[in-house]
Amino acid sequence: MLNNWLKTTLLMAAIVALFGVVGMLVGGAPGMLVALLVGGAMNLWAYWNSDRMVLRMYGAREVGPADAPELHAMVAELAGRAGLPMPRVYIIDEAQPNAFATGRDPAHAAVAATTGILGLLSARELRGVMAHELAHVKNRDTLISTLSASVAGAISALAQFGMLFGGGRERPNPVAQLAVMLLAPLAAMLIQMAISRAREFGADRGGADISGDPEALASALRKIEAYARGTPLVAAEAHPETAQMMIVNPLAGGQGLAGLFRTHPATEQRVARLLELARRRL
């Protein structure tokens, strides 16, 4: 767990540093200052509004004990085991089996599951998935993911601005500047993906601890991966920056350049780690 936190800290530092470099190339030292101010404002807005924005993107509807008694009771039981406040519970009317957590902190958290995952998994497997999502909440991964996504988006916007309007007086070789402007958004995306992958392993382990059943989550991941590949998730395709939030990559065509552009670790690696954890508990 500590290793994952160290990786995340270093990756977040790298993406913030990249943001400053792009700002410097666009407008020199003043440009870097403006870039950091804009980035700070974006992060502040994302901190307060990201959960509502994402839930609206996916057309999620909140459910209570009367609407989804089994799911609601399951989340309540797991939240109690994790020592967390009861999160809001949402259902998304989508055939692809998937789930995510959002919210700036445990007191303002929400978990969402698609109708596809509710129909596909057994109660035991679904419990493993919900435990995984609550581990994200407990580790505050939802905030980290939001901040990394917003800064990565700001880097792309800055790079486009620089290509359109040129840099400041302090800019270096124009060819070098153009190369950075083209490569910076790609670098930001790769760092963002690395942050997401580091956090998923931690949430798998944390979810196994919360549920006490690593094999259930492993079985769920196998099923979700198999079914999600052939079932599009329209909202995720329209907003690919949210793909990192899902328990399994929801995007189609994610097999090329696998090591670089995956939003999640390979499912077989996650399953292997969970099964190893289960063997150690015997």
Active site residues: 133
Q: Which of 211, 214, 221, 223 is nearest to 265 (CA)?
A: 221
> Which amino acid is residue 128, in one-letter code?
G
Q: H helices of the chain, where?
A: 2-57, 69-82, 115-120, 123-138, 141-165, 174-211, 214-228, 234-238, 258-261, 267-281
How far apart are alpha carbons 151 and 188 in whole angstroms? 8
* Tokens encoding 120: 């596909």
Cα–Cα nearest to 160, from 42, 261, 46, 35: 35
Check if the beta carbon of residue 159 is closer than 8 Å to that of residue 22. yes
67 with 41: CB under 8 angstroms? no
Among 14, 20, 13, 11, which residue's Cα sits nearest to residue 155?
Answer: 20
